A and B are shown apart, each in its own frame.
Chain A
Amino acid sequence: MKALCWYGKEDVRIEQVPDPEILNPGDAIVKITRTAICGSDLHLYDGYIPTMKEGDILGHEFMGEVVDVGSNVKRTKVGDRIVIPFTISCGRCWFCEHGLWSQCDNTNPNAWMVEKLAGFSPGAYFGYSHLYGGYAGGQAEYARVPQADHGPIKVPDELTDDQVLFLSDIFPTGYQAAERADIQPGHVVAVWGCGPVGQFAIRSAFLLGAERVIAIDRFPKRLELARQGGAETIDYSKTDDLVDTLKDMTGGRGPDSCIDAVGMEAHGTSMLAKLDRAEQTMKLEFSRATALRDVIHACRKGGTVSVIGVYAGWIDRFPFGQLFTKGLTLRAGQCDVQRYMEPLLQYIVSGKIDPTVIISHRLPLEQAPHGYEIFRDKQDDCTKVVLTPS
């Protein structure tokens, strides 16, 4: 089959590789009908995630038709049309049973590796480095889906692939960010980053009762999409002081809830942002925490900060004193996708959310390397690339 393989920084290629096979009794094989490039794939593309190996198949947002199942798979059947969560989870450990699917104890074959680095291991993800399991991803014609009975959901025939594909990651991810922001009726919510996850966070914040949402980015197309979702917008590159601007827009209080949908590769215009960029380039710090600092500075006293952008390792100049003195609540974490797929599917069925609005490019799988380039560089107003295997 054809698959998109990683070969290094800014080097991804379509290669001919063997078809996947059932390796464990809980596995299924899907013939992929639609897949996408995620913003977090760009961290791999830019070479910021360690333990990648040449030839690794990328991709963790995908769906398709089940063509084979292992001997222990009972619920998922050959012929089912399923969306696969990017988190691989067993559904039977304490964490899965308590909704913390992304922290699954039983699915990462390389748990020891993360434990050596961090002292603990989360679950595993498709196509996202050997630290997180080393599983082959879904930017391919076929994929092996471990734990096929514990996560993937069947989707109704009347919905198109483009409508349901984002249940695999970015819709639940954006929704979780909003859910963890503790939004109450009358709240003003600020969202940093108007990429795909930010767009879903904006829309989810309204679903959860926000009165106003203020969205922050610098790319006009993304800000326009945010406005279409009902948000007011700030182009931070055109403000002198983002935190001041937010205060001015909220009667001097600051937003009640602040969502960081940017993560470790933040851009920014301040001196600190430039220092972060230099330090990250020199490998002195893992993550550029420009957005995270702003979020803490801007949030109103006693408010909630919800971090969904991906961070890794250690961060310098983290304003913990501010966080403490303002009495902020800080929530963070990778998305527990399985927990949200069914309820969010209902929002799509009922028409309350149309996930397709964020798609800017539909390309054949063969053009995935081009997709990575334009998505990373935001060329051609690129907001989201979906890929179709031929």
Chain B
Amino acid sequence: MTTASIPRTREAPRPPTPSRARAQATINVGAVERWASLIGGAALALYGVSKRSRGGLLLATAGTVLVNRGATGHCPVYQRMGVDTARGRESRFGLPGIHPVAIEHAVTIGRPREELYDFWHHLENLPRVMTHLRSVTPLGDGRSHWVAQSPLGGTVEWDAVITDDRPNERIAWKSADNSEIANTGWVRFTPAPGNRGTEVKVHLVYDAPAGKPGAMLAKLTGESADQQVREDLRHFKQVMETGEIPTTKGQPHGPEA
């Protein structure tokens, strides 16, 4: 759900169910090289931004391209040259030395858990509270297609499968095997003490653009996955308790001096 923070840009939406062949074809950079691209690219981007100049901007752009190369494992130059250093890619969570990022946040919502579960169970509701999601389309058989806004512009898309669904208690999911963005997660609903409603906890693990450099890049682009989960939960609470998300967008303001 929060995989939008993953800086995997795409120019155009792709068909809902990507083929395995295509997903594999996009990865043509080996693990070590991906790491190097990520770290080097992030450092370059940060340095570029810190310069606050035209040259700095160029460096930052180059850094971003490198990070993207590391994150996605796809290099357009390699593709044109017919080079593939990815040989024998294994698990999406299995890049050597990469620890997948785990995020966990909780919020107490003053509504019965049946109601909260019901909202979440209809996945197509989620874009109402998760502002970075464009759409979630149920595909049947516990499968769904997710389209989110990328922090680098454009959209990211993936398919998800429900792996556990206990009414009013827990929903767990993981990205489909052929998904380019590996993620798993669960949401749990437990009654809060003192008739305070329901404690909602979200747990999310995602891969690519691996680890710390990815988080660094996410910060750079103003979106942190961690903060995104907090805001998603806050908005969920606001919609369930009050029916609206507070805003000041569109209110009057004096001219800037």
Interface residues, chain A, with chain B CB atoms under 8 Å away: 1, 3, 5-8, 13, 15, 17-21, 23-26, 54-57, 72, 88, 90, 92-94, 97, 105-109, 111-112, 115, 124, 133-136, 140, 144, 146-147
Contacts of A25 in B (CB 8 A): 243-244
4 cross-chain pairs, A with B, having the tightest CB-CB distances, nearest first: A5-B254, A55-B254, A15-B254, A17-B252
User: Known contacts A3-B254, A26-B243, A56-B254: does B108 contact A94 (CB below 8 Å)?
Assistant: yes
Chain B 204-246 interface mask (CB, 8 Å, partner A; 1/0) = 0000000000000000000000010011001001100111111
Q: Does B253 contact A (CB under 8 A)?
A: yes
Contacts of A115 in B (CB 8 A): 230
B247 pairs with A111, CB closer than 8 A: no
Contacts of A90 in B (CB 8 A): 238, 241-242
Instruction: Tell me the bound Cα distance from A55 to B253 in angstroms.
Output: 6
Interface residues on B, range: 20 to 34
Instruction: Tell me the bound Cα distance from A111 to B238 in angstroms.
Output: 12
Q: Does B110 contact A (CB under 8 A)?
A: yes
A136 pairs with B252, CB closer than 8 A: yes
Residue of A with least CB distance to B197? A94
Instruction: Tell me the bound Cα distance from A77 to B231 in angstroms.
Output: 33
B242 pairs with A106, CB closer than 8 A: yes
Q: Does B256 contact A (CB under 8 A)?
A: yes
Interface hits, B98-143 → A, CB 8 Å: 108, 110
Instruction: Tell me the bound Cα distance from A88 to B243 in angstroms.
Output: 16
Contacts of A56 in B (CB 8 A): 253-254
Residue of A with least CB distance to B192? A94
B246 pairs with A109, CB closer than 8 A: yes
Instruction: Tell me the bound Cα distance from A17 to B227 in angstroms.
Output: 33
User: Known contacts A94-B110, A112-B231: does B237 contact A1 (CB below 8 Å)?
Assistant: no
User: Known contacts A26-B242, A26-B243, A26-B244: does B251 contact A20 (CB below 8 Å)?
Assistant: yes
Contacts of B54 in A (CB 8 A): none
Known: A55-B255, A92-B110, A105-B237. 18 other contacts (CB 8 A): A1-B252, A3-B254, A6-B254, A21-B251, A24-B247, A26-B242, A54-B254, A54-B257, A57-B254, A72-B243, A94-B108, A106-B241, A106-B242, A109-B246, A111-B234, A112-B230, A133-B246, A134-B248
Q: Does B250 contact A (CB under 8 A)?
A: yes
B249's partner among A23, A88, A107, A112 (CB-CB below 8 A) is: A23
Q: Which of B231, B242, B244 is packed against the most chain A CB atoms within 10 Å? A: B242
A24 pairs with B244, CB closer than 8 A: yes
A-B contact pairs, 8 of them (CB 8 A): A6-B254, A17-B253, A17-B255, A54-B257, A90-B241, A90-B242, A97-B110, A147-B242
A19 pairs with B252, CB closer than 8 A: yes
B250 pairs with A21, CB closer than 8 A: yes
Residue of B with least CB distance to A123? B246
Residue of B with least CB distance to A108? B246
Instruction: Tell me the bound Cα distance from A124 to B227 in angstroms.
Output: 20
Q: Which of A8, A88, A109 is packed against the most chain B CB atoms within 10 Å? A: A109
Q: Does B89 contact A (CB under 8 A)?
A: no
Instruction: Tell me the bound Cα distance from A15 to B255 in angstroms.
Output: 8
A106's partner among B227, B230, B237, B249 (CB-CB below 8 A) is: B237
A106 pairs with B243, CB closer than 8 A: no
Nearest-neighbour CB distance to chain B for A73, whole angstroms, equals 11
A136 pairs with B241, CB closer than 8 A: no
Q: Does B196 contact A (CB under 8 A)?
A: yes
Instruction: Tell me the bound Cα distance from A24 to B251 in angstroms.
Output: 11
B252 pairs with A18, CB closer than 8 A: yes
Nearest-neighbour CB distance to chain B for A51, whole angstroms, equals 13
Nearest-neighbour CB distance to chain B for A10, whole angstroms, equals 14
A135 pairs with B248, CB closer than 8 A: yes
Instruction: Tell me the bound Cα distance from A15 to B108 in angstroms.
Output: 42
Residue of A with least CB distance to B108? A94
Residue of B with least CB distance to A17? B252
B248's partner among A19, A26, A109 (CB-CB below 8 A) is: A109
Q: Which of B246, B253, B255 is packed against the most chain A CB atoms within 10 Å? A: B246
Residue of B with least CB distance to A11? B257
Contacts of A26 in B (CB 8 A): 242-244
Instruction: Tell me the bound Cα distance from A13 to B110 in angstroms.
Output: 42
Contacts of A20 in B (CB 8 A): 251-252
